[in-house]
Homo-oligomer: A and B are copies of this chain.
Amino acid sequence: MDKVLLLWEGSGLYNLTLPQFIMIAICLVLLYLAIAKKFEPLLLLPIGFGGILANIPEAGLALSALDQAISVLNPETARLFAQELGITLQSAAEEENRLAIKAAVKGLEDPVIYKNLKAIAAAQGYTDGMLYTFYKVTIASGAAPLIIFMGVGAMTDFGPLLANPRTLFLGAAAQFGIFATVLGAVGLSALGVVDFNINQAAAIGIIGGADGPTAIYVSSILAPELLGAIAVAAYSYMALVPLIQPPIMRALTSKEERSIQMSQLRPVSKKEKIIFPIAVLGLVVLFLPSAAPLLGMFCLGNLMRESGVVERLSDTAQNALINTVTIFLGLSVGSKLVADLFLTVETLGILSLGIVAFGIGTACGVLMAKLMNRFSKMPINPLIGSAGVSAVPMAARVSNKVGLESNPQNFLLMHAMGPNVAGVIGSAVAAGIMIMYLG
């Protein structure tokens, strides 16, 4: 009978807290959006599922072995920890001892003692939770976003960009959304609404880059505690691009501007496409070493694609490899959706700032296109400016769709692909600057 009680006391129903319940509900909404509304399902489905797993009470799937040992501290482990930490446990009550040790570990500065505590926890039979393991291998190592970026590179055709390199300026302008949002985040902190430090503000800003792997990579370095909220915001808003962008685009352009027909893109030779990723890498080498992991892997993927001599590698990078990594990246991001990290006023701040970032990026892209139109002989339809935020290929499709509304003969898709992929490079550059400046 004791054992039945044990089973009951170990059950989720007995231990479920309200915040965990809320988080599970939120994750179900993410799953609904992914499946029924097709909101970036490749990421949001595993993220939502991982979020549910992370919030299962008592399962501790998102905890390290040490965290688990502290959260369910038995007397023997408590004794060993106290000995290693050099503290004495006076209290008779186990819970008080547990809190004393938890506080001591939190305040611990000596990494050698920390390593020893981990060894003790492992020796006492505690193991890393499944999601914690996935997180450590995929995100904490930095590998997963980079591998995905390589796959994205292998899927990207820079032809439209090479045919019209000036569209790179549109990709540059749209990054204003990133930095303006940083300013917004520090402003909110200055007003006392929320409490972000500069690293957190930068990580939030990168949502405006509208590029999932970049956002995850940057926040895993600058503010891992916000990674869950930032990734969810980035992917959700990328899915919402068809709702967010059109009103801004219409507000900033006249019907005539939206009807501008662009001259057909020149054909781009294979040689140009092969040399382009090497040229980008060269500029990274010379000017922004801190962007080397992101842009390096991106250019490697693109070179594998365009060189035409390593079809097998390019094919694997675009399929088996990127799919595998996507599953575990999604689950790992989900592991950061635990209630005590996500259910904070900061998350509301992140979600609000994120959509502002998208809006500003869109607006700046459009305005830049209008500006360029003044100085350029070749006409540029300002609608392709909004594609500079990235969100490949959704933003380019939006440009095309809004363009067709004004002029049914005006197919902007290929023209918008230029700023679209320029936006990917632009936000990787912005990411490199932030990492260099703050990392």
A binding-site residues for B, Cβ under 8 Å: 3, 6-7, 10-13, 15-16, 24, 28, 31, 34-35, 38, 41-42, 45-46, 49, 52-53, 56-59, 61, 84, 111-112, 114-116, 119-120, 122-123, 127-128, 130, 133-134, 141-143, 146, 150, 274, 278, 281, 284-290, 292-293, 296-297, 299-300, 303-304, 307-310, 312-313, 315-317, 319-321, 323-324, 326-327, 331, 433, 436-437
Cα separation A296 to B24 with both chains bound (whole Å): 14
Contact A307 B41 (CB under 8 A): yes
Contact A323 B312 (CB under 8 A): yes
Cα separation A114 to B292 with both chains bound (whole Å): 29
Identify the closest chain B residue to A11 (Cβ): B287
Contact A45 B312 (CB under 8 A): no
- What residues of B have a CB within 8 angstroms of the CB of A323 in the complex? 312-313, 315-317, 320-321
Number of copies: 3
- What residues of B have a CB within 8 angstroms of the CB of A24 in the complex? 285
- What residues of B have a CB within 8 angstroms of the CB of A317 in the complex? 323, 327
Among candidates B46, B116, B289, B310, residue contacting A10 with C-beta atoms closer than 8 Å: B289
Cα separation A433 to B4 with both chains bound (whole Å): 11
Contact A436 B114 (CB under 8 A): no
- What residues of B have a CB within 8 angstroms of the CB of A34 in the complex? 307, 309
Task: Provide a sorted-by-A list of 13 A–B residue pairs whose CB atoms are within 8 angstroms.
Answer: A7-B433, A12-B285, A12-B287, A34-B309, A49-B299, A53-B296, A56-B292, A59-B290, A111-B122, A115-B119, A130-B142, A300-B331, A304-B327
Q: Given A28-B278, A34-B309, A316-B327, verify A436-B130 contact (CB < 8 Å).
A: no
- What residues of B have a CB within 8 angstroms of the CB of A128 in the complex? 141
- CB proximity of A400 to chain B, nearest CB, Å: 23
- What residues of B have a CB within 8 angstroms of the CB of A315 in the complex? 323
Contact B127 A142 (CB under 8 A): yes
Q: Given A284-B56, A315-B323, verify A41-B10 contact (CB < 8 Å).
A: no
Among candidates B53, B142, B326, residue contacting A133 with C-beta atoms closer than 8 Å: B142
- What residues of B have a CB within 8 angstroms of the CB of A16 in the complex? 285-286
- What residues of B have a CB within 8 angstroms of the CB of A115 in the complex? 115-116, 119
Identify the closest chain B residue to A321 (Cβ): B324
Contact B130 A35 (CB under 8 A): no
Contact B112 A116 (CB under 8 A): yes
